[in-house]
Amino acid sequence: MTVVRPSVSHSGYAQTIDGAAVFSEASYPVINPATGVPFADCPSASKEELDRAVAAASRAFPAWRDADVQVRRAALHRFADAVDAEQDGLSAVLTMEQGKPLNRARDEISRAAEQMRRLSLIDMPTETLQDSAGRPFDVQYRPMGVVGAITPWNMPIILAMSKISHALYTGNTLVLKPSPYTPLATLRLGQLGIGIFPPGVLNVLAGPDELGRWMTEHATISKITFTGSVRTGKKVMASAAETLKRVTLELGGNDAAIVLKDVDPVAIAPRLFAGAFVNSGQVCMAIKRLYVEAPVFEPLCAELARLAKEVTVGDGFDPEVTMGPVQNAMQYRIVHEVLDEVLRDPQAQVLGGTQQIPAQGYFVAPRVIAQPAQTSRVVTEETFGPLLPVLKFDDVDEVIEKANSTRYGLSGSVWTGDLARATDLAQRMDVGTAWVNHHVGSDPCVPFGGTKESGIGRENSLLGLRHYMEPHVVSVRPL
């Protein structure tokens, strides 16, 4: 069928600095991954514009810090309402620049707004503790100042809204940089904040990776929050160390899901498939390795292969499409490099991928890969695309060791009707989050983050909010 794309502006995108729209002299093209060709121009911030944004955020900080928490909460709720009201326009831009099906883009917008509302309802109390002599003292948590936030291209709006929520609700001000691959919908967020937040509280700039480096090096930015790859996260941390910036890093994962033999393969296959192939496999917490106990290995592989063949891959504006493209040319090449290695593996069986896909754009049909080599890239690395390795096991202790034998430690899951056994196995997984009988998902009330090279710090919940604040001890004794 002919795909009808809504009208999306080719130009006119502005950055937000000090409560005003700023049109930069420099720009760069943004590519639609469904076509592989540019569709819009994005402003590219200069170092001088970054300095202006940071200065504005610094000026706005004292008043925003001292504002009553109810005032900050009300502003965030008004902002969430404004985002909801612009759902149609935002989702169209998001699908055009990211590639996900339009209904998935709409869902991302609405979930982002709702999570902002819920996070900003969490109470942030002062703690009263006792010293070794039993004397009370208070631990207050105070905002840090100017926060620099850098977001990725896979879930641009929900991750931008999360960082806005954490930073502004805790009394910080913010300079936000989206991925250069998916900047446009996030720039719209900045414009929606004008008139809701005081000037300088929310600043949104776009640009290439160099802009991110300027932010991590900037002496006036007190904290960097970054979501993205392990490789880039290490660079962020090294750069931030020069000024001892506080950092929150939510990095990649190579999540293992362990399926025990008592499950019904037909019943759980759709949930496992969704956990692996959501957003074309481009989710940090998606299932990247599936370990299946031998008695149910064959039937589960067959069911997953059937589901893979039923996926409709194509342009996200086609209402019949259920899986969009890989987001950018670089990631497209990585996925194909990994797939080419799998196709050369004599012991691996590639299932799915039989449907026709558009010749233009960064499309990859979903594949289920049965019994690849344990040392192959599809098993040991985070492919970040629609490839799912499925490996057979007989010994539970051995599979826990394999699940943990990775530099990643973001999340994982165990699938079985025996909840006591599942809980024991989940507790043995070396990850930040271990699920039982579900996989993928975040809740504003539940802390999320990784161990090992999957990150530092947590987001969501009171614990996550306090990663955006400094503890301040007040100890009072009578004369």
For 322-339, what is each residue's pLDDT tens digit?
999 999 999 999 999 999
pLDDT of residue 209: 94
Q: Give domain status of residue 455, yes or no.
A: no
Q: Could you tell me the two tokens for 38?
A: 């540019």
For the cut 70, the answer to whether the pLDDT of residue 11 exceeds it is: no
Whether this model's pTM surpasses 0.75: yes
Same domain, 70 and 91: yes
How confident is residue 355, by pLDDT bands cut at 50, 70 and 90?
confident
Compute how many other C-beta atoms are within 10 angstroms of the C-beta atom of residue 477: 7
Number of domains in the chain: 2
Same domain, 174 and 281: no
Same domain, 42 and 122: yes
Q: What is the average pLDDT across 178-183?
A: 98
Same domain, 244 and 262: no
Name residues whose C-beta falls within 8 Å of residue 88's C-beta, 6 or more positions apart in sequence. 106
For the cut 60, the answer to whether the pLDDT of residue 193 exceeds it is: yes
For the cut 70, the answer to whether the pLDDT of residue 389 exceeds it is: yes
For the cut 70, the answer to whether the pLDDT of residue 212 exceeds it is: yes
How confident is residue 4, by pLDDT bands cut at 50, 70 and 90?
low
Q: Which of 223, 250, 277 is the last residue of a domain?
A: 250
End-to-end Cα separation, the chain, in angstroms: 83
Q: Give domain status of residue 467, yes or no.
A: no
Beta strands per DSSP E along 108-245: 127-130, 136-143, 146-150, 173-177, 202-204, 221-227
How confident is residue 208, by pLDDT bands cut at 50, 70 and 90?
very high
Q: Give domain status of residue 446, yes or no.
A: no
Q: What is the average pLDDT across 438-442?
A: 94
pLDDT in tens, 140-169: 999 999 999 999 999 999 999 999 999 999
pLDDT of residue 470: 98
**Cα separations in angstroms, 413 against 134, 139, 185, 297, 449:** 43, 36, 33, 17, 15
Same domain, 305 and 245: no
Q: Could you tell me the two tokens for 449?
A: 């983050």
Q: What is the average pLDDT across 19-48?
A: 96
Element (H, E) at 469: strand 469-474
DSSP 280: G
pLDDT of residue 354: 84
Same domain, 266 and 207: no
- Catalytic positions, please? 250, 284
Number of alpha helices (DSSP H) and beta strands (DSSP E) in the chain: 15, 20
Provide the mean pLDDT of the chain: 96
* 252, 408 Cβ separation under 8 angstroms: yes
pLDDT of residue 3: 73
- Report CA torsion sign: 299, 301, 303, 309: negative
Q: Give domain status of residue 460, yes or no.
A: no
What 3 state SS string does 23-85 have? CCCCEEEEEECCCCEEEEEEECCCHHHHHHHHHHHHHHHHHHHHCCHHHHHHHHHHHHHHHHH
Q: Give domain status of residue 397, yes or no.
A: yes
pLDDT of residue 310: 96
CA-nearest of 231, 220, 216 to 61 is: 220
pLDDT of residue 218: 98
Q: Could you tell me the two tokens for 436?
A: 């039982």
Name residues whose C-beta falls within 8 Å of residue 330's C-beta, 6 or more positions apart in sequence. none
Q: How far apart are CA 81 and CA 114, in angstroms?
A: 9
| CATH code of the domain in which 243 resides | 3.40.605.10
Same domain, 215 and 271: no
pLDDT in tens, 109-140: 999 999 999 999 999 999 999 999 999 999 99
Q: Which amino acid is at 188?
A: R
* 263, 415 Cβ separation under 8 angstroms: yes
Q: Give domain status of residue 10, yes or no.
A: no
Same domain, 290 and 427: yes
Same domain, 246 and 284: no
Q: How far apart are CA 445 and CA 462, in angstroms?
A: 8
Q: How far apart are CA 123 and CA 73, in angstroms?
A: 11
For the cut 90, the answer to whether the pLDDT of residue 5 exceeds it is: no
Same domain, 139 and 156: yes
CA-nearest of 106, 85, 14, 100 to 53 is: 14
| CATH code of the domain in which 426 resides | 3.40.309.10
Q: Which of 220, 250, 280 is the last residue of a domain?
A: 250
How confident is residue 317, by pLDDT bands cut at 50, 70 and 90?
very high
Same domain, 275 and 347: yes
Q: Could you tell me the two tokens for 464?
A: 């996550």
Percentage of the chain lying above the pLDDT 70 cut = 98
Helix 297-310 vs helix 265-277: crossing angle, to nearest 10: 50
Q: Give domain status of residue 284, yes or no.
A: yes
* 173, 64 Cβ separation under 8 angstroms: yes
Compute how many other C-beta atoms are within 10 angstroms of the C-beta atom of residue 75: 21
**Cα angle 71-249-383, degrees, rounded to a multiple of 5:** 130
pLDDT of residue 395: 97
Q: Give domain status of residue 5, yes or no.
A: no
Q: What is the average pLDDT across 354-366?
A: 94
CA-nearest of 307, 289, 390, 286 to 355 is: 307
**Cα separations in angstroms, 87 against 153, 256, 390:** 19, 34, 37
* 382, 394 Cβ separation under 8 angstroms: no
How confident is residue 298, by pLDDT bands cut at 50, 70 and 90?
very high
* 389, 372 Cβ separation under 8 angstroms: yes
Range of the domain at 362: 255-436
Q: Which of 250, 280, 304 is the last residue of a domain?
A: 250
pLDDT of residue 1: 52
Same domain, 275 and 161: no
pLDDT of residue 10: 60
